[in-house]
Structure 1
Amino acid sequence: MKHDMPFPAGEESLLSTHSVYGAPCWVSLTSRDLKITEEFYSAVLGWRWRPAKLGEPFRIALADGVPVAGVAAVAAMWQMAVAWTPYFAVRSADEAVSRAAERGGTAAVGPISLPPGRAALLADRDGATFGIWEGELFSDWETWRASRPAFIRLHTRDAFDAAMFYGGVFDWAEPGGCCEVQYEGDEVVLRSQGDVVARIESGALEAAPDPSIRPHWQVHFAVEDVAACARTAERHGGSVLSLGDDEAVLRDTDGAQFTVTARRFGG
């Protein structure tokens, strides 16, 4: 795996990760074909695109002019999995990597310097992949939260065990911190300023033949019409894995899995 990984690409920002440490701050997609990826997500989610500073295979997705996600068409070139990956804001990338390792996680890449910050790609102790970012944010955080994915959800073996892992890495229990952990039935819910930004649920199987059943982070995008997004995804070469009134689990043309969530239902 190369070390010039498709971490969040340089956008001007107003804040640093120090102000929102522990919270999700970005999502990034690795794909095979940039043109096909752009066409698919433009149709399904209404995104527009701008170049990223890392070079030609990289793009920044815009929703109503706000940077909301990064795309890197490097999966085939770098022999990487096609997938959506969430990134969490940290005060120190080195410290976060050390904390993850102490708790049984692993570092796939990094930390490496990518001005204006530092990044790493990690896996938790059940194998779910996530990223960390230290440095300037790529969009004003409040604006990104309003235009962002509705939230991210970790499907894992044991929600409470996973919450202990991530809480230790990201200081979720620190007084005065950016995030608050709550236990709601069988789920662990992460809130920031009252909004749900992440959910953790039990039931994933580590050795399942189907990757969608193994521990993984799932990105949920808020949309106005779930059924219309599902139909559009199929028309543009994607597939619908499940469809309900409020959510649909979709795969894009490369096979990356994501969820569209009714805007009224997202939090």
Structure 2
Amino acid sequence: MNSHSSATRGSVFSRSVFGAPCWISLTTRDLSAAEKFYTAVLGWDWRVGKLGDQYRFASVNGVPVAGVSAVGAMEMAFAWTPFFATADADQTVARSQERGGTTAVGPISFAPGRAALLADRDGAVFGIWEGELVADWEDWRRAAPAFVELHTRDAFDAAIFYAEVLGWASGTAGCCEVQYDDEKVVLRSRGETVAHIHSGAVDSARDPAIRPRWQIHFAVADVDACLDAAPAHGGSIVQGVPGSAEAVLLDPDGARFKINARSAL
């Protein structure tokens, strides 16, 4: 998950931003098509790292922002997944399982750390990462994404699950702060809003748009340009019209994400 083979001076480790989103990863069946789409829509550059030819690193102005992996059509859904920093992957997996979550993959080891893919008790998929971060956390946050958002059955119940699993609002130095609003839960790390949790998703819905899920928000300079580029490169527009400050898009494999005008954030 890291594009470097060894720790570098000034590296940030997951324990320093524990509980906060620290990476995002996309599964796709066609790396070439994904690269062309996200280059056109979000302006990303690409390179192959130490994880092999089937995993690509996207960057913005030299800052790694996301990983994209090729999977077979029958292996899993094509989707964006947020990864949250943790100081101990084994303990985090154990806490998730004790509270009704499930483990899909891991923890598995890479050169700079360990990762696992989990689902909360309502089925929303998320990842955890222990070890050296791909990029300085503040640099990554400025480059992409703007924040991540969970749509789920009960926002407050979900917040309790994640707080217990990821150490939110634990009182430990560096932990994420949780604010309960009337309609949503807001997660902050180092004073920045990094996640929202909303109620309203339906557990048994066939439509993935209303099943419990995490959604990635990308900050962009020009929403209209993204709306033009997405369908021209094999994607589609779920929500958004010219002049909008935000839009929901699908990539060529149907992976859903949201864009927000940087000026409106």
The answer to whether the superposition gives a TM-score over 0.5 is: yes
Q: Work out the percentage of aligned pairs sharing the same amino acid.
A: 60
Map of 2:46 onto structure 1 = 49
Partners of 1:155 and 1:115 in 2: how far apart? 33
Q: CA deviation at 1:153?
A: 0.2
Please tell me whether residue 136 in structure 1 is matched to residue 135 in structure 2: no
Please tell me whether residue 21 in structure 1 is matched to residue 14 in structure 2: no
Partners of 2:227 and 2:137 in 1: how far apart? 29
Letter in 2 for 1:169: V
Map of 1:39 onto structure 2 = 36
Query: Which of 140, 161, 170 pairs up with 2:166?
Result: 170
Query: Which of 108, 131, 135 pairs up with 2:104?
Result: 108
The alignment's TM-score, normalised by the length of structure 2, stands at 0.94
* Alpha-carbon contact 2:174-2:190 (below 8 Å) kept: no
Matched residue pairs, number?
Answer: 258
Correspondences of 1:112-123 after superposition (within 5 Å): 112-123=108-119
Letter in 2 for 1:147: A
* Alpha-carbon contact 1:227-1:243 (below 8 Å) kept: no
Map of 1:124 onto structure 2 = 120
Partners of 1:205 and 1:177 in 2: how far apart? 33
Please tell me whether residue 260 in structure 1 is matched to residue 259 in structure 2: yes
1:172-231 Cα offsets, whole Å, 9 max, x none, are 112223311011221100011221100000000010011111000000000011122112
After superposing the two structures, state which structure 1 stretch, 139-148 or 31-40, moved more: 139-148
Partners of 1:160 and 1:190 in 2: how far apart? 12
Partners of 1:63 and 1:159 in 2: how far apart? 32
Letter in 2 for 1:124: D
Please tell me whether residue 234 in structure 1 is matched to residue 216 in structure 2: no
Partners of 2:3 and 2:94 in 1: how far apart? 25
What stretches of structure 2 of length at least 5 have no aligned partner? none
Correspondences of 1:211-230 after superposition (within 5 Å): 211-230=208-227
Please tell me whether residue 96 in structure 1 is matched to residue 92 in structure 2: yes
* Alpha-carbon contact 1:151-1:219 (below 8 Å) kept: yes
Partners of 1:171 and 1:194 in 2: how far apart? 17
The alignment's TM-score, normalised by the length of structure 1, stands at 0.94
Partners of 1:264 and 1:168 in 2: how far apart? 34
What stretches of structure 1 of length at least 5 have no aligned partner? 1-7
Map of 1:4 onto structure 2 = none
Letter in 1 for 2:91: E
